[in-house]
Amino acid sequence: NISGGTLRFRDLTDGGELIATQINFKITDFESGEPFEIQLEAAVNAAQPNLQLRSWIGSIAEHRDFRDVRLAGELNATDLDLGKINKALPRLRRALPRALRFDGIYTIKELKFKGTLNNLSLKGAVTGTDASFRFE
């Protein structure tokens, strides 16, 4: 568990930077071969917390590719700049399915997700500013 944490990531090859503060992260019931719960709240490139995630993941032991692990949960965010996050974390962007792409600044309300990263269903409200979204 993390309480009040800070993360600063800077890609020295292209200068992309991600700063997350006020990180509260909790994993519940983590055991090999069993589903577990995560809760995350953080201020991502912001002064106040603007990201909340609650998810159930697993079991991870039965899958070699993390994109095939079952997950479900809910995501909320306010003024989250996914363009900056994509630039700072290009490996994260490459790890997501090609059919799922976000760029721009988003406010996300009660976005429920279920399935796997390779076969994901989404339901909720997403609004963007100078944004693009692709989900096939």
Task: For residue range 18-49, list pLDDT tens digits in order.
Answer: 899 999 999 998 887 888 999 999 999 999 99
pLDDT the model gives residue 92: 67
pLDDT in tens, 97-111: 666 667 788 898 999
pLDDT the model gives residue 77: 95
pLDDT the model gives residue 43: 97
Is the whole model's pTM more than 0.85, yes or no? Answer: no
63 to 20, 70, 125: CA distances (angstroms): 30, 9, 31
- Which band of pLDDT confidence, cut at 50, 70 and 90, is reported for residue 95? low
**Distance (Å, rounded) from C-alpha 44 to C-alpha 98?**
24
